[in-house]
Structure 1
């Protein structure tokens, strides 16, 4: 029997093989979890509602930053998205990290050379708060991701500084929490998983827009879910919206809910309306939907790469609704939500979201699908006097969200948006946007 020497392997230890849990056990655990938290639903909704009101970021304070400008925000978010996707972190981790960055920038002066450090440290904190311990990136990995621009001790110091600035409170009602509240009460349909992905894509797009920082996350999630249901051509989102609105109205009806024992208790919070429901709620949702549709035409390549299977579906939807998109008013981003939109544009957005189709009576989960068979009727804009010539509305993608021209940069921003590439590829390959199946590798190479 011959003896052979044992050689020690050099280098870092290999990561253990990831073991996927049993799907049946996972489903049973989720069902038991729903039963366990059923008695605490109102307490959870109250807590999320209080957090939503207290975690709104001030845009005016971020405007006072001497070096950090809004055109730098997309570059940082693209970088965080790539790290988030590399480590396969939870969806709420990204939203919490963005909120930590915004709250820190609204309270402290951040220099340009430290902006990436703040973003990576915020993602590190959010991963500790939301993810499993095995998925939290290590200090060495963060240093490598930043190409050794900062050392490990710098991340530890920044973590301590962020926590002390936020008074050791990083809780936040994220967009993912609001989406989970919506999808928890929705009926199970075959396309529900795809609706969740498209709604999450719109929620991530909203983090790039300055005007949506002060919008309640619950309204943004509702608008994203309605848009996703419209893209998938299903009325389930509208049915859930009106059922929740009717429940909210009945909850606060004095004649129907009067009870002496409930006099000294807090009013109930009806999900997903964490910020309440009023006559202006639908109007605000329509404006948020308009902002999200316009923002999709300027979204970054990182988002398109992450949602490579869902982006063509949304682009086809925008192509089919080009008549409505052309009527969107061209306003400044800072006044987009505060300005009034014309009545015909508001009605067309409601038609686009299928909010006008719920006219029949429904009971519980019975959906009047016959009411959705007719296509929505879009209103034409009011005719201008003949003395004034009609002008073509400006293109929503004529100026990219990454434009640096106003800051005196040398490089020009390309006029075409990433969506234009999908449109041009769809014209060359007709079977791409007729077939609803996911793109294969050959077509994907043409589109990208």
Structure 2
């Protein structure tokens, strides 16, 4: 009896679930449906495993949260800068700080670095200035080295700026070797202790106690970055600054304040009041950064809040409108206004491309006060001096009077 060839080559061998074998009996796509079902089951299982891992991570975080918090508070005490040591710098003056902060803020935003990278860079800068004498021609170089160290320490590797990019942003004022040498010198001065519990780390700890609110988080970032420009906030610990900035952000956005028994609600009322007084004249670079919808248009929210506070002040205090037009500084003769703590506002640079806001060499304070920075070099139009931020209450209070649009009703928090 001759061997009969089956009509189909795979008849009698059962079903094969391989995609490389064509099964003529699978007219309804049975195996394709089975494969799709298996893929769906794998996806569901992956989601379940991810949810279980997140739940386990939250449980572990809650268990060790107090230990982590105590370690962060101990670390911040060991890595705080000394304000008195910065005060005795011979060439570095406080009016130079806003210019350097604008430059670091622009570079940080251009490279899309993490928020904690900026705060760590400023901490490294202040700690270095607390231990070493810094010449004004090297002030920007120290800031670039601090930003470079901070980005290498905790940011994404692909976003770390290169020396060539930093050199270009500094208008090629420094050579490549100078960046490397300054980076090494900063690390040597700080005994290679780079880690610091930044204010953003404490903000994350405080925000884990409530539901996720991106607008509240970005408003807190704005307030904490605004505090970097003023020397009075340098001695404030990051934990206190984070809770105080969060309390002010909640007040601006009309969010409910938590109970004072919670850790995130233990703010410093004086720090909150000082922060609110500096909302009226922020840095132009900071205002421009937070005007984007990507950061919830925080600058627009702040302007609307200040307008509402001015209207409330007019209704409650009953001050006539002509007397509350604006805040002015009375002329005080030849006194140098930049010897007092303040934040000068930079004018626009019409002849310099956008992104290069910090001059290569910071001018002397006497030259800045008498002629206005950059007029003889042709960098600025001849429109007069910058309008400085008024000092805090108690300092030179007799030389200025307060007005309506810049008046902020003190926040009333229930403790």
Shorter chain as denominator, the TM-score bin is 0.5 to 0.7
* 1:431-442 matched pairs, under 5 angstroms: none
State how far apart, in whole Å, the 2-side matches of 1:177 and 1:294 are. Answer: 25
Contact conserved, 1:52 with 1:173, CA < 8 A, in 2? yes
Contact conserved, 1:397 with 1:415, CA < 8 A, in 2? no
Match of 2:153 in 1: 129
Partner of residue 211 from structure 1, selected from 221, 227, 232: 232
Unaligned stretches of 5+ residues in structure 1: 1-23, 245-270, 327-376, 382-390, 418-422, 425-448
Partner of residue 242 from structure 1, selected from 257, 260, 264: 260
CA offsets 1:156-188 (integer angstroms, 9 cap, x no match): 111111111101102212110111111111134
Match of 2:275 in 1: 292
Contact conserved, 1:294 with 1:396, CA < 8 A, in 2? no
Match of 1:59 in 2: 83
Partner of residue 385 from structure 2, selected from 413, 429, 434: 413
Matched, 1:41 2:65: yes
CA offsets 1:215-247 (integer angstroms, 9 cap, x no match): 122222112111211221121xx12x4240xxx
Q: Secondary structure at the match of 1:321?
A: helix
State how far apart, in whole Å, the 1-side matches of 2:187 and 2:388 are. Answer: 41
TM-score where L is the length of structure 2: 0.64
Please provide the CA RMSD for this pair: 3.2
Contact conserved, 2:280 with 2:306, CA < 8 A, in 1? no
Change (3 A) 1:133 1:168: same
Match of 1:92 in 2: 116
Contact conserved, 1:318 with 1:325, CA < 8 A, in 2? no
State how far apart, in whole Å, the 1-side matches of 2:327 and 2:222 are. Answer: 19
Match of 2:139 in 1: 115
Deviation at 1:294, TM superposition (A): 2.0
Would you say how many aligned residue pairs link Structure 1 and Structure 2? 294
State how far apart, in whole Å, the 2-side matches of 1:93 and 1:222 are. Answer: 19
State how far apart, in whole Å, the 2-side matches of 1:325 and 1:221 are. Answer: 28
Contact conserved, 2:343 with 2:388, CA < 8 A, in 1? no
Q: Secondary structure at the match of 1:121?
A: helix
State how far apart, in whole Å, the 2-side matches of 1:53 and 1:224 are. Answer: 19
Higher relative contact order (CA 8 A, sep 6+): 2
State how far apart, in whole Å, the 2-side matches of 1:319 and 1:224 are. Answer: 20
State how far apart, in whole Å, the 1-side matches of 2:327 and 2:366 are. Answer: 17
Q: Secondary structure at the match of 1:242?
A: coil
State how far apart, in whole Å, the 1-side matches of 2:168 and 2:367 are. Answer: 33
TM-score where L is the length of structure 1: 0.59
Change (3 A) 1:66 1:415: closer
Contact conserved, 1:61 with 1:107, CA < 8 A, in 2? yes
State how far apart, in whole Å, the 2-side matches of 1:325 and 1:81 are. Answer: 33
State how far apart, in whole Å, the 2-side matches of 1:118 and 1:31 are. Answer: 43
Deviation at 1:201, TM superposition (A): 0.1
Matched, 1:148 2:172: yes
CA offsets 1:57-91 (integer angstroms, 9 cap, x no match): 22111111111000000000000011100110000
Moved more, 48-57 or 172-181: 48-57
Match of 1:401 in 2: 343
Deviation at 1:289, TM superposition (A): 1.7
State how far apart, in whole Å, the 1-side matches of 2:370 and 2:70 are. Answer: 47
Matched, 1:199 2:199: no
Change (3 A) 1:325 1:130: farther
State how far apart, in whole Å, the 2-side matches of 1:91 and 1:397 are. Answer: 35
Match of 2:99 in 1: 75
Partner of residue 308 from structure 2, selected from 316, 320, 330: 320
Change (3 A) 1:230 1:56: same
CA offsets 1:31-74 (integer angstroms, 9 cap, x no match): 66434534332221111110122222221111111110000000
CA offsets 1:231-286 (integer angstroms, 9 cap, x no match): 21121xx12x4240xxxxxxxxxxxxxxxxxxxxxxxxxx448xxx6xxxx6xx22
Contact conserved, 2:344 with 2:388, CA < 8 A, in 1? no
Match of 1:343 in 2: none
Deviation at 1:406, TM superposition (A): 9.2
Q: Secondary structure at the match of 1:80?
A: helix
State how far apart, in whole Å, the 1-side matches of 2:93 and 2:87 are. Answer: 8
